[in-house]
Amino acid sequence: MAIQKHPITGVELNVLSKKRKFLDDVEAVTVFLLRFEGVDTTEITHKMGTNPARVAEVLNGEVHPKARTQALRLIQERKLSLL
């Protein structure tokens, strides 16, 4: 993929390959997994290709309220499978 630059300033721009207007259940779980990995909200927003409000809704439990529990369960299952 070619690097995009602003046409006037020449500053390199991040290319968003995926844009999401909303997050589904699996994407919401992914938001929590990224958060548990220490990724900050701004970077999660960029990685998920959505806006900060969608990520905040997930992290605050306003939408996909089971996502946090599912993410924790996946982490626990992964830890057990590594033993």
Question: How many domains does the structure of the chain reveal?
Answer: 1
pLDDT at residue 1, rounded to an integer: 59
What tens-digit pLDDT sequence spans the chain (83 residues)? Answer: 578 898 888 999 888 788 999 999 999 999 999 999 999 999 999 999 999 999 999 999 999 999 999 999 999 998 877 55
Separation CA 49–CA 64 (nearest Å): 18
- The answer to whether position 2 is within a domain reads no
In a domain, residue 71? The reply is yes
Res 22: pLDDT: 94
Q: Which residues partner with 5 through β-bridges?
A: 12
For residue 48, being part of any structural domain is answered with yes
For residue 1, is it within any domain?
A: no
**Eight-class DSSP state of 4:** E
Within-domain flag for 13: no
In a domain, 10, yes or no: no
Nearest residue to 58 via CA among 21, 20, 27, 19 = 27
Within-domain flag for 55: yes
Residues in the chain: 83
Range of the domain at 62: 18-82
The residue whose two tokens read 């990520």 is 55
